[in-house]
Amino acid sequence: MIFFSHIPNRFKDWGLSLWAVACGGIAAGIWPLSPQEGLRLLLTLLLVGVGWGRFWHFLATTDWATPLRRWRTWSLGESGPVPPYTRPGSPAHRLARWLGQLTSWGKMVFLPAVGPALGTAAVGLITVLILAAALGESMVLLALGGVALAQLALVWNGGKGSVGAGWHALMGVGFPWLAGHLALAPLSLASAILTVAFSLAAFGKSQAPEQSGLAAWIGGYLAAIVLFLINGRPLVVPYLALLMLLPLLVSTSHPMGWKPRAFWLVGGMLLAAVAL
């Protein structure tokens, strides 16, 4: 259950995703929880921590491109069985030849290179779909949307195993927040905005102290601040502003301005979820 491990300077603590689930549940505004609602939230934590964490981690950090490139020039492998009286060069003969090469490539290249990752990702995906089905239609739709976005991230990166930090923020914070909220109540516009805001802040956290990271960090917190101003809850604004500015008060060249790793982010997420 290691989420985002082996990803330098990114979300090395998979607990951040579980924290996002809890904050999404708090943002749903159903407290105290009934036993049934508590069970739903527990299943969602399992969905994200056990299923989604495995699926996304191995999908995003595995080099799929290298074995696929070898397939383009692969010519080894004996022809598969063909129907009697099949003529050489016929479509059936070419298909049997292609299947033989595919089998050979799979055994010699693909499975040794990515087989363990593929198996773990498949188990994670099955876990996600089973738990999502138990939690209802809205969770199934979220899970399918997450899988589609994961595939888009893979294509965007070219399957090289180094998906960008923005995708990790979306899948590691945004998806869990939505899952936590939908486990207890229909999604509200305000919670959706906070999903985007803290996904952006999470991206900024992973990229700081680079300029793009600082801009994303400030932009995410500002989005949350504007939301609470519009909703008529200005009392939370100074505290969010403080959490946004505290790491900036230390020189951006000094890494201690962004440590402990997720303190500033989890504080803002919890504050916003409770205030919503």
pLDDT, averaged across the chain: 84
Alpha-carbon gap, residue 8 to 129, rounded angstroms: 29
Residue 45 in contact with residue 176, Cβ under 8 Å?
no
Alpha-carbon gap, residue 180 to 257, rounded angstroms: 30
- The domain locations on the chain are 1-69+114-185, 188-276
Residue partners of 148: CB distance under 8 A and separation at least 6: none
Backbone angles phi, psi at 74, to 5 degrees: -75, 130
Alpha-carbon gap, residue 186 to 139, rounded angstroms: 10
* More reliable by pLDDT, 244 or 84: 244
**Which sign does the torsion angle of CA 261, 262, 264, 265 carry?**
positive
Instruction: Pull the structure tokens for residue 116.
Output: 């363990």
Inter-axis angle of helices 15-27 and 189-207, nearest 10:
160
Q: pTM for this one? A: 0.85
Section 36-56 average pLDDT = 94
- Rounded to the nearest angstrom, the gap between the alpha carbon of residue 171 and the centroid of all alpha carbons in its chain is 2
Minimal CA–CA distance to 178: which of 215, 214, 145?
145
Task: Lowest mean pLDDT of 52-56, 97-101, 127-131, name the range.
Answer: 97-101
Q: Tell me: the pLDDT tens digits for 197-237?
A: 999 999 988 886 678 888 999 999 999 999 999 998 999 99
Burial of residue 31, with CB atoms counted within 10 A of its CB: 0-12 exposed, 13-18 middle, 19 or more buried: exposed
17 pLDDT tier (thresholds 50, 70, 90): very high
DSSP character at residue 115: H
Domain 1-69+114-185: state its class.
Answer: mainly alpha
Alpha-carbon gap, residue 91 to 274, rounded angstroms: 64
Alpha-carbon gap, residue 157 to 169, rounded angstroms: 15
Instruction: Pull the structure tokens for residue 88.
Output: 């050489």
* More reliable by pLDDT, 126 or 4: 126
Section 90-102 average pLDDT = 69
Minimal CA–CA distance to 145: which of 124, 174, 185, 168?
174
Count CB neighbours of 210 within 10 A.
12
CA angle, residues 199, 55, 6, in degrees to nearest 5: 70
